[in-house]
Amino acid sequence: MKKFLLLYLLSVMGGLKGMAQMSSFNQRIQNQTVQPYRNPLRDSLAAATEALAYHPDSIDLRLKKSSWNIQLEQWEYAKDDLDKVLYIDPTNIAGLFYRAFVNDKMMRYNFARLDYQNLLTLVPGNFEAQLGLALLNQKDKHYTEAYDQINMLIEANPDSAVAFAARAGMEKERNMLETAAYDYQRAYELDTMNIDYLTNLLDLNLLLRRKKESRECLEALMYKGVRPSALKEFGIRLKKIKK
């Protein structure tokens, strides 16, 4: 679940209101054919770094470079560029979102929280910022605050599979297995293509010793093309349920 949410948050970074469009230079880099032995992320990062040497004040380039750094988990480098972006433009929405994410990964929770709060001041009600803040508070053991925030997010977005899955993840961590199973079920109903939701639901049904529901989840995963080898451990656990 955490991996899925990480990918989700990364995917929305480029679409936030206020993020500058890529320059034609960066579009050429992104669209170029990469040889099989080359690492496209590192190639793009190298190109952006080279371009920054000629355009050190370009917010577009710094945001793009920081996105490559983040995907390569180079948190310090990403933070340095984002600090420069926000020095030039303190209200840059994409910069605040990126830096909040990076500060979170660096366990600089108070700084991440401040970036999310500043972003929400600029864009009240922004879904991604509210989700990021709730997940941050869960990670920082502010459990009551995190749960209140995710509840409010679901109330405002009752058709969001991501919000239900985020709450389910919190509940699972806190051993609230019944409610976590309900929320993963709801998330899956809203997004039946998401294998992660179904896998977590299967795990919870097994923990709750719900044999019928576990079998249904397992069969659904096989129907969706998940390799039997990846489901072997779940099958073993299912056989151990007597009822």
Q: Quick one: what percent of the chain has pLDDT higher than 70?
A: 77
Average pLDDT in the 157-169 region?
96
pTM beyond 0.85: no
Q: Nearest-CA neighbor of 133 among 79, 93, 97?
A: 97
Q: Give pLDDT, residue 48.
A: 62
Average pLDDT in the 68-84 region?
91
